[in-house]
Amino acid sequence: MYSTVTGDRLVDRVPDAAYWVENLCAPVLFPAAIGRLFDAGHDTFLEISPHPILLSEVHAGADERGIPSTLLRSMCRDEPERATMLASLGALYTHGQTVAWEQLHSGSGRCVPAPTYPWQRQRFWLDERNAAEVGINDGRRRLSAWSPQPAARLPREPASTKRCAALAGRSANGCSSHTWALKPLANSV
């Protein structure tokens, strides 16, 4: 950990109450601390905050030194938190950082090994699991479960409310209207 109070690496000192008082009262030496991080060979930075405000300073320090760097954010205003964090996690992984995938996926799915060479001819398909029926059982005839057509193929225009009904399906980001399935039937309902 590098200090924005001294600009140096905290080796023997644990940030205690006195350190944080000094941190509040002393000038912030953020550029000095970032410079020391670059000097120590660091080139990947993840800002942990509700919205990235310090990455521009890190970027300026990298440009000043001519160092290619990877700048990531944990969250960003008006963006889904999980998607932003997962994108940064993926970027960290592709830049050589170790990721404890079992912590990310504990209890919610499974990781499977992928083939490393196409000629290994090893099967890596996921086995089907028995899925319970999903839906409301109130005596009416309803579709118990269905998969919506991929979003890229959905029409952009709004559905007409005069001659058709809206068919709603659950998507990964909540409920959305999928009227593409009703278009062939719109005039016969």
Residue 171 covered by a domain: yes
Distance (Å, rounded) from C-alpha 34 to C-alpha 60? Answer: 10
pLDDT for the residue 171: 42
pLDDT for the residue 95: 87
Q: Which structural domain range is residue 90 located in?
A: 17-111
Burial class (CB in 10 A: 0-12, 13-18, 19+), 11: exposed
Same domain, 160 and 81: no
Helix (H, G, I), strand (E, B) or coil at 2: strand
**Domains of the chain: total:** 2
Chain-centroid distance, C-alpha 116: 25
Same domain, 103 and 157: no
Under a CB-based contact definition with an 8 Å cutoff, are residues 44 and 97 in contact?
A: yes
Distance (Å, rounded) from C-alpha 147 to C-alpha 170? Answer: 8
Mean pLDDT lowest among 37-51, 53-67, 99-113, 129-143: 129-143
Question: Side-chain half-sphere of 58: how many Cα atoms within 13 Å?
Answer: 19
Same domain, 31 and 98: yes
Under a CB-based contact definition with an 8 Å cutoff, are residues 55 and 71 in contact?
A: yes
Amino acid identity of residue 40, one-letter, is A
Same domain, 45 and 101: yes
Same domain, 88 and 166: no
Distance (Å, rounded) from C-alpha 72 to C-alpha 43? Answer: 11
Same domain, 39 and 98: yes
pLDDT tens digits, 23-35: 899 998 889 999 9
Residue ranges of the alpha helices (H) in the chain? 17-25, 30-39, 55-65, 81-94, 101-104
Residue 140 covered by a domain: no
Same domain, 80 and 161: no
Both tokens of 28, joined, read 């912030």
pLDDT for the residue 140: 58
Integer Rg of the chain from CA: 26
Same domain, 97 and 157: no
Same domain, 22 and 93: yes
Residue 163 covered by a domain: yes
Same domain, 23 and 106: yes
Same domain, 26 and 107: yes
Nearest in space to 145 (alpha carbons), one of 163, 123, 161, 130 = 130
Q: Bridge partners of 133?
A: none
CATH code for position 53: 3.40.366.10
Strand segments, DSSP code E, in the chain are 44-47, 70-73, 168-171, 174-177
Residue 119 covered by a domain: no
Both tokens of 53, joined, read 């405000």
pLDDT for the residue 107: 66
Residue 113 has pLDDT above 90, yes or no: no
Residue 179 has pLDDT above 50, yes or no: no
Residue 1 covered by a domain: no
Same domain, 21 and 105: yes
